[in-house]
Amino acid sequence: MPKDKQSEDDMLSCFTDTHGIITTTMNDVPGHRVKQVLGTVYGLTVRSRNWGAGLGGVARSIAGGEIRVFTKLLYTARNEAVERMVGECMSRGGNALVAMRFDVVDMGGFSQICAYGTACIVEKVDQV
């Protein structure tokens, strides 16, 4: 694979460093018990696409297929929202986020991405 293509693919990643915070879309964490609920935490970001990318996306949509510039924009925005949510969890003293979800709102050229979940303190349970 050409080097340019590889570096572009690396940027299209759903991995976000959670700084050791357990993050799950489930309502519990297997092998752990919730010791304390710290409340709902959010991570918000609003992104816009530039007009050049928008025109390129329209041209690509005519031909069909993935519009990679928009895919990259969404990955970047979701990762930023998760990082902000994790930061809020850490600032409250939490070590886990449960029931994590995303909300996306299109505002005509702008997209609002919200990551939200419940910040908790969890502890490992002894396996019998």
Beta bridge partner(s), residue 85: none
Alpha helices (runs of H) in the chain, residue ranges in sequence order:
3-11, 51-63, 68-91
- Strand-by-strand arrangement of the 32-48 sheet: 22-23, 96-106, 110-124, 32-48
User: Where residue 26 sits, what CATH number does that domain have?
Assistant: 3.30.110.70
Q: What are 42-101's pLDDT values in tens digits?
A: 999 998 865 455 555 555 566 677 777 778 888 888 999 999 999 999 999 999 999 999
Residue span of the structural domain in which 113 resides: 16-124
The reply to whether 8 falls in a domain is no
The single-letter code of the amino acid at 39 is G
Fill in the DSSP letter of residue 31: T
pTM across the whole model = 0.77
Structural domains of the chain, count: 1
In which region does residue 75 sit, left (phi positive, over 0), alpha (psi from -120 to 50) or beta (all else)?
A: alpha
- 4 Cβ neighbours under 8 A, 6+ residues apart: none
Does residue 28 register a pLDDT over 60? Answer: yes
Place of tokens 């092998």: 31
Summarize the confidence of residues 23-40 as an average pLDDT.
Answer: 96
In 3D space, the residue among 40, 22, 16, 27 whose CA is nearest the CA of residue 123 turns out to be 22
Top pLDDT among 114 and 16 is at 114
Q: What are 84-128's pLDDT values in tens digits?
A: 999 999 999 999 999 999 998 888 778 899 999 999 999 999 876
The reply to whether 92 falls in a domain is yes
